[in-house]
Amino acid sequence: MFESKPPSSAGRKGWSLDTLLGRTAEPVAAPAPAAPAMVAARAEPAPANDLFFRIGGFLKAHPLDPTPVNYDLAYQYLGGHNSELVVAVEAAIARDGVLLANVAEEISDAAANQVSSELVEKLIDQAHQSMTLAASLVGQSRTDAKAYGSALDKGAGALDAGGESATRALGLMVELTRTMIDKTQNAERRLAEMGTQMESLQGDLAEAQAVAESDPLTGLANRRAFQSRLVRAMAQAQAEGTPLSVAFCDIDHFKKINDNFGHDTGDRILKMVADALTDGAGEDAFVGRFGGEEFLILFDGIMARRAAMRVDEIRDELSGRHLVSKTNGEPLGTVTFSAGIAQLLPGEADGDMLRRADEALYNAKNGGRNRVIIHGEE
């Protein structure tokens, strides 16, 4: 079924959905001879000036717009600075013959999220170290207090006995008390410092976590964050017997928008659609960007028919907008999207639910686009 998808989505589907949903990749022609040459050239260390020209050649060969994101991707790929990115780029070139713009965007997003994840792990490690130190300090204070109490008991016994030993015992008790006061004050100071550090780490961790789980362009939850939310929602729905629906949305003819008006305009369209989905889905829905021009909406506690009505209202409102370029006032026409809806089945896995939503989306695309279809009701 999926082999006959429209050309505008074929390359994207091969990258974003086949791996996640376990599809068998469609056979592709052997890569153009230029691709192995670029791979071989990347392995050779090069002076900065040479790398600069190779980056330009890489962008021109595929072709990719000379945006900062694409420059960074080419720099990391040709310089071998990110092994996972290199593997992803070479796999995409081997599959499609060239590095498609939407695939390059997804690889760059994944690399950015990987960096954010590493930062989160670093902050968690720092927080763990601070908590271990705090626990050690509290434990030492408890030991000092116990020793202090034992010494006081002995001193009290000596005082009760009277005589010269009582005088010495009193002096030792005073000295011991001063020492204990110093230790207590020092412990309080260190705990206060660690408390301040923990508050700062907590803020940094929350910020890094938000970055790691957010799509940098639209601000929506990214693929990883959406899937995490989906797994939790599915477990709750299965346990409580409540409905759960998911919508797979795809902007129609998005490649033509980029080709005709440029990627800056394409980015503004993506933000506009993201805002429309967020505003129209409702407070009980969770919206994420799956990648490229694809979006997902999770409807918790809502059946497929009601979810489809909400999505269709968004589609209808969006298709009624007549857009104009901000740079030159040129009419951009209208922007539409297609959507597929699936409702959770008993005992169903998250991958199966997404696959059914994608099948419904495929039928919506094949049926003429700019429409919403519920899986099983085509």
Strands 285-291 and 294-300: antiparallel
Least confident among 15-19, 231-235, 249-253: 15-19
Most confident of the following: 127-131, 220-224, 306-310, 345-349: 306-310
pLDDT above 90 (res 289): yes
Phi, psi of 51 (to 5 degrees): -60, -40
Closest CA to 136 of 181, 198, 190: 190
Q: Which residues are catalytic?
A: 293
**What Å distances lie between residue 358 and 17, 21, 190, 246, CA to CA?**
9, 10, 55, 10
* CB distance 291 to 109 below 8 Å: yes
CA dist., res. 366 & res. 79, Å (int): 42
Name the residue with higher pLDDT: 172 or 70. Answer: 70
Q: What is the pLDDT of residue 217?
A: 87
Phi, psi of 230 (to 5 degrees): -65, -45
* Residue found by looking up tokens 């394409």 in the block: 266
pLDDT above 80 (res 219): yes
Helices and strands of the chain, counted as H and E runs: 13, 7
Q: What is the pLDDT of residue 1?
A: 30
Q: Residue ranges of the domains in the chain?
A: 2-113, 116-212, 223-374
Closest CA to 300 of 231, 222, 210, 220: 231
Alpha carbon 47 to chain centroid, angstroms: 34
Topology at the third CATH level for domain 223-374: Alpha-Beta Plaits (3.30.70)
Q: Does the pTM exceed 0.75?
A: no
